[in-house]
Structure 1
């Protein structure tokens, strides 16, 4: 499998997605746009496109962030979908999938930062890629927004703070508003980038402070993510 990551910031690292790809022996390439690395010119060299998160939104302009080109990323996503490639978007990446497919992102009812449970919908519980999630599980969060829904999108999971945590846009295309890729190292990067902001969010019911963020167990969510990705790859190969 040829796995290509679009990474928007150094502190929004691929984490467990990268660990999985390396452990499975997949060929990995990157567009670290914060280093001005270019996006792929086409979907031809990609089997699985993984678009990571970032502090930007799909409406962030080039003037506001020189290294982020939402239109170009949406065009790449749309081309991968048309070409029958697998696509996974994380947080901002999930919102960009919706945008690429004609469904604008929306603001989430709650800001969520930390580890909180998601619950699978009826469709999610019966879905072969998510059956190993059970009724739900604790996963990572770090967001204000959520992906838009196309007419044929299926919500797989939701949380108390956000009604769209995992969205299936097609059998090979998934948006994860949640961050199942979090590891202790990734969380440290996020804390370092956001510690001043976190100190202003003590009144939010779904926001953890640094000590709590460091004490979370991220291993189980990582294992659940690996199971999903293995099933996604199996479907793609089939």
Structure 2
């Protein structure tokens, strides 16, 4: 299987998604549409699409953002699995007819997420995830709410072989150090409802189960290609 990853900022890479791909012997290609022109893959090249986070909004009027949504729509029509994190999930939601709005609270740091659906077997009821956002998606028609937090209800959705998470399970330790080193000031903000700084985010460490949960979600999507 050939996995294509859309990465939108240097400090938010595929993390454990690349580890999962290697474990299963898949090919993985990373594209940088925000930094290079005409680098989006052709739909026929993609077996599985991953859309990562970034500081931009799907509501921004940039040509590559619209082109990315056109690719997502093509892959949906071809019933190919798609996973989006943060900005990526917002992009998917827009293609499905949802909206991207300012969230009621800015969430930057570690906070528990609650599973509110049993559609994916084996997921814990409560997990600790990394949040790095101040916008959110509305749940598209026909999609099912998958995760919520105490501050922002719409944290994850699933629709067949498509799902999006507003938060992050994919970062590994080096990824989080990179995020804090380059974008730590985003956390050091009075609007951050989680009241965490870059230093406290680093000190928290990554819960051991996060990679397992990320792998389980990707396994579920990969099975939908059969």
The TM-score range, normalised by the shorter chain, is over 0.9
Aligned to 2:5: 5
Partners of 1:217 and 1:186 in 2: CA distance: 12
1:161–1:206 contact (8 Å) kept in structure 2: no
Partners of 2:10 and 2:124 in 1: CA distance: 33
Q: Which secondary structure does the structure 2 equivalent of 1:132 belong to?
A: coil
Counterparts in 2 of 1:134 and 1:198: CA distance versus 1, 3 Å? closer
* Partner deviation per Cα, 1:138-164 (whole Å, 9 max, x = no partner): 111100111232221110110012111
TM-score normalized by the length of structure 2: 0.93
Counterparts in 2 of 1:171 and 1:3: CA distance versus 1, 3 Å? same
Aligned to 1:65: none
**Count of residue correspondences:** 225
Deviates more, 1:103-112 or 1:75-84: 103-112
Counterparts in 2 of 1:197 and 1:89: CA distance versus 1, 3 Å? closer
1:92 Cα offset (Å): 0.3
1:10–1:34 contact (8 Å) kept in structure 2: no
Aligned to 2:197: 209
Please say if 1:233 is aligned against 2:222.
yes
Q: Which secondary structure does the structure 1 equivalent of 2:73 belong to?
A: helix
5+ residue gaps, structure 2: none
TM-score normalized by the length of structure 1: 0.88
* Partner deviation per Cα, 1:87-136 (whole Å, 9 max, x = no partner): 01110000000111221212211111111111111xx1x21x2x322212
1:130-209 correspondence runs (5 A): 131-168=121-158, 170-201=159-190, 204-209=192-197
1:53–1:91 contact (8 Å) kept in structure 2: yes
Partners of 1:197 and 1:41 in 2: CA distance: 31
Aligned to 1:53: 53
Q: Which secondary structure does the structure 1 equivalent of 2:139 belong to?
A: coil
1:204 Cα offset (Å): 3.3
Partners of 2:165 and 2:51 in 1: CA distance: 10
